Amino acid sequence: MKFSFHITWPEGYDARSVWNVHKQFSIMERCTHLFILLDGGLTIRNKTGDVSDKVLNMNELLRVLKLALELLEVRSLPEVRFDEAVEACIDAKRGRRPRTVTEIRGICGRLMRRVPGLAGRAVSTMVRSDCVKLVQMGSTPRQQHKLRVILHGVFEYCRRQEWCAGNPVSLVAAPLPAEGEIIPLSWEELVQLTSTARLPEHRACMPALGLMLWAGIRPAEVTRLCWADIDWEESVIVLRPAHSKTGGCRHVPLHDVLRRWLQGAGIGQGNICPANWQRRWHALRLAAGLVPWRQDVLRHTYASYHAKHFHDFAGLQESMGHRSAHLLRTRYLSMRGLTAATARRFWQPGAL
């Protein structure tokens, strides 16, 4: 049986005041208190809207009272619009990296442009089915995963601000991105890339290329590094929390091959990456004949050649900033076509 109901509050009560008292008790205590408080002020209607003269048994009465309590909870929450919630969430994350803030604003902005009425929708009224539709607007599993991550963060902020009763996105399971094998660069591709980088028009890219290739620095991380982050005496590259993807600090060994490469490029000051880095980096790959580019291939190349030569999985995991070895073993290590002799040459100064 489906119920609808109309609540007539006694003088001096409203939804917010009742809910503020009820939220500190168990569901049974709340139902009992609500039943006594209403004392005939709860009108039960059937699904046609007519007043029902049906005598409710205890289970049915509890169902009605629980529905009334849910209604109280929703009515007691402030009506914060989705666009207001997004802006408030972004303001709270001002101290994060600009890329993070840009992603939240960009993804939520696209959703609001594509879904009529989403911007003005109160976050307290949004449920799991609404969030499922938003997540499914991603055209690939990877995009859906990203949408879910962003929306979960926004609604988790709203939950902490008590703008919604819970986080509906936590009930949404997004497909995990399909992780395919990424083949590291072959010796021939490495020779082509490094020899092209030495040309005068691409020489400014040599330091960043070296750090990605022989230290496994992520592409986004290398754009945040400065020459001062290289400790020549201790032979480490220092990635501070503001540099790293995961927000932690890590020290990556400065191998002799990388030291020689950086010295050959010319040690500078300021940022590692030159001005117009993205354009220059694309031009280098294009000139080396490595377009289309395999995403994260330099990091995968570093991991595979490191594991093949040093056989130090714990040290490699620490250098790459992984919390566990699972991702390293299942995603990053590909030994296809890689011999011990080739791996040994990769780490020899001057071989490339």
Structure tokens at 270: 């300021």
Helix, strand or coil for residue 4? strand
Superfamily of domain 82-171: Tyrosine recombinase, N-terminal domain (1.10.150.130)
82-171 shares its CATH topology with 187-346: no
Structure tokens at 93: 């994350």
Say if residues 267 and 227 touch (Cβ distance below 8 Å): yes
d(CA 239, CA 252): 8
What is the distance in angstroms between the CA of the first residue and the CA of the last residue of the chain? 76
- β-pairing, 236-239 vs 230-231, is antiparallel
d(CA 288, CA 121): 51
Specify the pLDDT at position 77: 66
Report domain extents, the chain.
4-76, 82-171, 187-346
Say if residues 221 and 269 touch (Cβ distance below 8 Å): no
- Letter for the amino acid at 252? V
Specify the pLDDT at position 63: 62
DSSP letter, residue 115: S
pLDDT per residue rounded down to tens, the chain (352 residues) = 444 444 444 455 454 544 454 455 455 555 555 554 454 444 444 444 444 444 445 565 556 556 655 555 555 567 899 999 999 999 998 877 777 888 999 999 999 999 999 999 999 888 888 999 999 998 888 889 899 999 999 999 998 998 887 888 988 887 766 656 678 899 999 999 999 999 999 999 999 999 999 999 999 899 999 999 999 999 999 988 765 555 567 899 999 999 999 999 988 889 999 999 999 999 999 999 999 998 889 998 998 899 889 988 888 888 887 766 666 666 656 677 788 899 999 999 999 9
Specify the pLDDT at position 187: 93
Whether omega for the bond prior to residue 292 falls within 30 degrees of 0, making it cis, is yes
- Domain 187-346 in CATH 3.40.630.10? The answer is no
d(CA 75, CA 170): 22
Specify the pLDDT at position 312: 85
Specify the pLDDT at position 73: 55
